[in-house]
């Protein structure tokens, strides 16, 4: 399919090449954000068997913290004025991610831990209820007007070959790669191995002296941190020109198809799914518009992830990389 | 001689809709209460006869029908669904096209109510049956996400078909509660104007309330009866252990499809009734939040029981109003009174720009959440609270209270 599009692009001349390159690059950047969200979701799901519907709310909360720290409090920038502004902003964002991670920790302790062993419907619903609560509070914190994040990149773009790429998009991809490498290293560490063991067989892990509760808390903290990272980048220039607003939280609902496509319990699947969804949405936005496709109506790019998900599910009901559920009598 | 409660001497008495005399009498008394309620003759509860309260109670009835549908799918068949809003939308727009008037840019056939109301249910049920084969392939959390996708899909479809839905943020007019045999000028029964029934003056709100009460009673009887049939038992077998059910010869896919179709049909009826009740709906209304509301109704009321669905709808729909009244009351206490209670109320509400508090009575930028936000906040907290502390919901609380008094003065 890629080849077809390339051939088609060449036939259309330089303009078509530019269009394709731009759609691809923004699709990759979008996919990186989805991959970050999906990583957090999959991590939490693997460790605790809970699908976190409050992920979007956590992302928006993280983005709000970043906006507040960077633009209102100037923390920790005001103590390290000798550093370049970019580094100051990155420090603010890091602090925001850490605070959100702590919020995730608290949520797990208060709301998720008592639900262990409850039926699936209740667990799904409790994260939805958390989403409502966090989103309401976040909306109130943000206020009536969207808050810009005060990032150093703004609307700057650079040209790489035929593609025009926003600097923040490059930052997104870089951060996603860092997060991926970090997670890969984490899974080789003491706690990472413990988490993998818990995900594989909780009882056996506990018999080895692993504290399942601590692993759950850790998974929620990392997941919330990843959500905040994704939230921050989804509030930057090409995604949102106005910063974090009361619609930021809904962005995460498009990452749900990503994890289903990849398979709910597969880290690789989350990343692959994220990029598939990002590219699909970007191509749909670039090519399925105009008079020819007016029958598709408004916002078709937004439902494209779900369409891809349905197709994948019809072929593979457990996603591309997910482990098939074995049903025993 | 009357027997002990819960001692059934025949299968038919155990399967009866209302097995004991107490239940029969209680149901009759409750129904009688609901019937005389709009006349404002019940001491202490006369305010319920106000038009805005009658409207709220009518809304409870509407949501109860949809919740009963979800009760069949989730409570009986055990299938997690976040897609109820999609089917509500399908039903609403079927009713709008069949029963609505032709608008400037919207379709409408102007058919009578006895066509558009059943059609809304049937079309939604057919759509449900069409989607079921996909939904049957996936299980558990995957199903939740697929049905969630359905809602987003529906929102997009409703936005993209302005000739049916009136387009985003504009919406369209829906048919009203007027019973005609065909397209005659004067309706045979008109629920939209004040009038008198058997010599008693009835407002249009009370008329609508009575109509919806009839609908809910029918829906409750259907839902209760489904539970008692072979199909209903098959649903429950699938819910409890799908593989065991299959081994016993329950056709899993077939029954899941039936459950989906039934549940969607109820949702479709809800949509048609909601459209007629509100008069004008925008396509954005059929959102994830509406789906969540149906699930919340079931979980707060107590999943798996018909009474739970009814209790839950009353709780979830009346909650915002109660919170609003209560906050208003606290604000008046905080402003006028003195002493500890007033001080406490003052902490809770914020009445001015520089008065800190959790809820603000002023719209805009005053500190604290506004009433709408506070309602949502409380709604979420209540859901969490119910799920953690009372997983059986309001019905579970009732069972505990009942069991306490049943054996009183002994503890068990």
Nearest CA in chain B to A143: B365
B164 and B306 share one domain: no
Domain boundary among the residues B230, B256, B287 is at B287
Please answer yes or no on whether A310 and B142 come within 8 Å at the CB atom: no
Region of B249 (left: φ > 0; alpha: ψ -120 to 50; beta: rest) is left
B267 and B381 share one domain: no
Q: With cut-offs at 50, 70 and 90, classify the pLDDT of residue A7.
A: low
Of A115, A120, A257, the CB nearest to B387: A115
Within a domain: B322: yes
pLDDT of residue A314: 82
pLDDT of residue B361: 64
Determine which of A163-172, A260-269, B193-202, B238-247 has the lowest per-residue pLDDT on average. B193-202
Nearest CA in chain B to A139: B373
For the stretch B110-120, pLDDT in tens is 888 899 999 99
B276 and B331 share one domain: no
Within a domain: B8: no
The residue ranking higher by pLDDT, A54 or A316, is: A54
Q: Which residues of B touch A314 (CB under 8 A)?
A: 134, 137
B316 and B260 share one domain: no
B205 and B58 share one domain: yes
Within a domain: B232: yes
Please answer yes or no on whether A313 and B379 come within 8 Å at the CB atom: no
Other CB atoms within a 10 A radius of the CB of residue B298 amount to 27
Domain boundary among the residues B259, B287, B315 is at B287
B54 and B176 share one domain: yes
* DSSP codes joined into one string, B329-388: HHHHHHHH--SHHHHHHHHHEE-STT---SEESSSSSSSSB-HHHHHHHHHHHHHHHHHH
Determine which of B92-106, B289-303, B350-364 has the lowest per-residue pLDDT on average. B350-364
B316 and B352 share one domain: yes
For the cut 80, the answer to whether the pLDDT of residue B356 exceeds it is: no
Q: Which residues of A touch B391 (CB under 8 A)?
A: 118, 122
B256 and B336 share one domain: no
Using the Cβ of B133 and the Cβ atoms of chain A, whether some distance falls under 8 Å is answered with no
Q: Which residues of A touch B154 (CB under 8 A)?
A: none
Within a domain: B324: yes
Nearest CA in chain B to A313: B138
Q: Which residues of B touch A122 (CB under 8 A)?
A: 299, 387, 391
For the cut 60, the answer to whether the pLDDT of residue A55 exceeds it is: yes
pLDDT of residue A11: 54
CA distance A303 to chain B (A): 6
pLDDT of residue B366: 53
Of A128, A140, A325, the CB nearest to B369: A140
Q: Average pLDDT in the B252-265 region?
A: 94
Please answer yes or no on whether A132 and B380 come within 8 Å at the CB atom: yes
Reported ipTM: 0.87
Q: How many CA atoms lie within 13 A of B275 on its CB side?
A: 31
pLDDT of residue B1: 46
* A&B contacts, CB < 8 Å: 135
B106 and B197 share one domain: yes
State how many domains chain B has. 2
Please answer yes or no on whether B295 and A317 come within 8 Å at the CB atom: no
Within a domain: B1: no
Q: Which residues of A touch B74 (CB under 8 A)?
A: 121
Within a domain: B38: no
pLDDT of residue B337: 65
For the cut 50, the answer to whether the pLDDT of residue A113 exceeds it is: yes
Using the Cβ of B218 and the Cβ atoms of chain A, whether some distance falls under 8 Å is answered with no
For the cut 60, the answer to whether the pLDDT of residue B363 exceeds it is: no
Please answer yes or no on whether B142 and A121 come within 8 Å at the CB atom: no
pLDDT of residue A215: 92
Q: With cut-offs at 50, 70 and 90, classify the pLDDT of residue A12.
A: low
pLDDT of residue B223: 93
Report field, pTM of the whole predicted structure over 0.95: no
pLDDT of residue A271: 92
Using the Cβ of B137 and the Cβ atoms of chain A, whether some distance falls under 8 Å is answered with yes
* 3-class SS shares of chain B: helix, strand, coil, % to 5: 65, 5, 30
Q: With cut-offs at 50, 70 and 90, classify the pLDDT of residue A1.
A: very low
Please answer yes or no on whether B141 and A131 come within 8 Å at the CB atom: no
B377 and B273 share one domain: no
Q: Average pLDDT in the A4-27 region?
A: 73
Instruction: Give, in order, the Cα–Cα distances in Å from B382 to each of A56, B294, B296, B332, B377.
Output: 21, 15, 10, 25, 9
Q: Roughly what angle, to the nearest 10 degrees, separates helices A190-200 and A167-186?
A: 80
Q: With cut-offs at 50, 70 and 90, classify the pLDDT of residue B412.
A: low
Grouping H, G, I as helix, E, B as strand and the rest as coil, residue A92 is helix
Nearest CA in chain A to B131: A310
User: Which residue segment(s) compose the domain that B202 sits in?
Assistant: 45-287
B383 and B350 share one domain: yes
B283 and B307 share one domain: no
Using the Cβ of B39 and the Cβ atoms of chain A, whether some distance falls under 8 Å is answered with no
Domain boundary among the residues B287, B321, B338 is at B287
E strands present in A110-201: 157-160, 163-166
Residues in chain B: 412
Please answer yes or no on whether B373 and A139 come within 8 Å at the CB atom: yes
């Amino acid at each position: 399919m890629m080849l077809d599009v390339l051939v088609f692009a060449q036939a259309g001349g330089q303009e078509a090449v530019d269009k394709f390159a731009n759609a691809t690059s923004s699709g990759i950047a979008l996919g990186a954000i989805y991959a970050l969200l999906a990583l957090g979701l999959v991590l939490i799901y693997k460790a605790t068997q809970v699908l976190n519907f409050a992920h979007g709310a956590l992302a928006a909360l993280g983005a709000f913290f970043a906006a507040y720290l960077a633009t209102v409090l100037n923390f920790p920038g005001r103590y390290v004025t000798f550093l370049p502004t970019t580094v100051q902003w990155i420090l603010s964002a890091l602090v925001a991610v850490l605070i959100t991670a702590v919020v995730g920790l608290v949520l797990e302790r208060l709301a998720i831990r008592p639900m262990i062993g409850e039926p699936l419907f209740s667990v799904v619903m409790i994260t939805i209820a958390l989403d409502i609560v966090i989103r309401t509070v976040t909306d109130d914190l943000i206020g009536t007007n969207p808050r810009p994040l005060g990032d150093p990149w703004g609307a700057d773009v650079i040209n790489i070959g035929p593609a025009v790429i926003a600097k923040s998009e490059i930052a997104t991809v870089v951060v996603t790669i860092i997060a991926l490498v970090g997670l890969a290293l984490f899974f080789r560490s003491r706690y990472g191995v413990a988490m993998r063991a818990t995900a594989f067989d909780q009882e056996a892990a506990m018999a080895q002296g692993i504290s399942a509760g601590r692993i759950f808390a850790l998974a929620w903290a990392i997941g919330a941190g990843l959500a905040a990272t994704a939230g921050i980048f989804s509030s930057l220039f090409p995604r949102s020109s106005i910063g974090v607003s009361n619609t930021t939280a809904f962005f995460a609902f498009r990452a749900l198809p990503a994890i289903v496509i990849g398979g709910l319990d597969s880290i690789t699947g989350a990343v692959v799914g994220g990029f598939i969804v990002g590219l699909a949405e970007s191509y749909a936005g670039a090519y399925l518009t105009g008079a020819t496709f007016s029958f598709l109506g408004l916002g078709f790019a937004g439902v494209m992830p779900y369409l891809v998900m349905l197709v994948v599910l019809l072929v593979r009901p457990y996603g591309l990389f997910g482990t098939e559920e074995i049903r025993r009598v | 001689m009357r027997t002990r409660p819960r001692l059934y001497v025949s299968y038919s008495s155990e399967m009866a809709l209302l097995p004991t005399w107490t239940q029969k009498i209680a149901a009759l008394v409750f129904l009688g209460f609901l019937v005389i309620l709009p006349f404002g003759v019940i001491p202490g509860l006369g305010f319920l006869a106000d038009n805005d309260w009658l409207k709220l109670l009518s809304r409870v009835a509407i949501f109860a029908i949809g919740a009963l549908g979800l009760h069949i799918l989730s409570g009986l068949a055990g299938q997690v669904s976040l897609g109820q809003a999609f089917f509500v939308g399908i039903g609403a727009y079927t009713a709008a096209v069949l029963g609505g008037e032709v608008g400037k840019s919207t379709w409408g056939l102007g058919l009578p109510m006895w066509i558009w109301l059943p059609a809304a249910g049937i079309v939604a049920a057919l759509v449900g049956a069409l989607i079921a084969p996909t939904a049957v392939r996936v299980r558990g959390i995957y199903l939740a996400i697929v049905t969630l996708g359905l809602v987003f899909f529906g929102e997009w479809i409703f936005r993209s078909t302005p000739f049916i839905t009136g387009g985003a943020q504009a919406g369209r007019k829906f048919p009203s509660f007027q019973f005609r045999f065909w397209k005659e000028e004067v309706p045979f029964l008109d629920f939209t104007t004040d009038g008198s029934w058997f010599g008693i003056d009835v407002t249009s709100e009370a008329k609508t309330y009575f109509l919806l009460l009839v609908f809910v009673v029918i829906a409750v009887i259907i839902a209760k009866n489904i539970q008692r049939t072979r199909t209903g038992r098959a649903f429950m077998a699938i819910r409890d252990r799908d593989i065991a059910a299959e081994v016993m010869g329950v056709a899993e896919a077939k029954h899941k499809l039936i459950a989906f179709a039934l549940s969607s049909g109820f949702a479709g009826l809800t949509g048609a009734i909601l459209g007629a009740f509100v008069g004008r709906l925008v396509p954005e209304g059929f959102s994830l939040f509406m789906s969540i509301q149906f699930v919340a109704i079931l979980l707060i009321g107590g999943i798996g029981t018909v009474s739970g669905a009814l209790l839950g709808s009353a709780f979830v729909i009346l909650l915002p109003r109660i919170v609003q009244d209560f906050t208003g009351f606290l604000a008046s206490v905080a402003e006028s009174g003195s002493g500890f209670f007033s001080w406490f109320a003052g902490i809770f509400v914020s009445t001015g720009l520089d008065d800190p508090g959790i809820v603000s009575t002023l719209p805009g930028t005053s500190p604290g959440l506004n009433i709408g936000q506070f309602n949502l906040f409380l709604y979420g907290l209540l859901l969490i609270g119910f799920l953690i502390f009372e997983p059986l919901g309001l019905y579970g609380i009732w069972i505990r209270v009942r069991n306490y008094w049943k054996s009183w003065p002994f503890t068990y």
